[in-house]
Amino acid sequence: MASCIICFCLFRFTLSRLLSAAIYNCDWIPRTRQFKSSLRLFVERANKPLSITGGKMFPISLETFTSVMNSAYSFFTLLCHMQSRNS
How does pLDDT run across 4-13, given as a tens digit for each residue? 666 676 777 6
pLDDT in tens, 17-52: 677 778 778 888 898 999 888 888 887 877 776 667
* d(C-alpha 24, C-alpha 12), whole Å: 19
Query: Which residues touch 35 (CB under 8 Å, ≥6 apart)?
Result: 28
pTM, two decimals, is: 0.47
Domain span at 58: 2-86
Q: Is the pLDDT of residue 70 over 90?
A: no
* d(C-alpha 12, C-alpha 14), whole Å: 6
CA-angle at 49, arms to 17 and 64, nearest 5°:
100
DSSP character at residue 1:
-
* d(C-alpha 68, C-alpha 74), whole Å: 10
In the chain, how many domains are there? 1
CA 28, 29, 30, 34 torsion-angle sign: positive
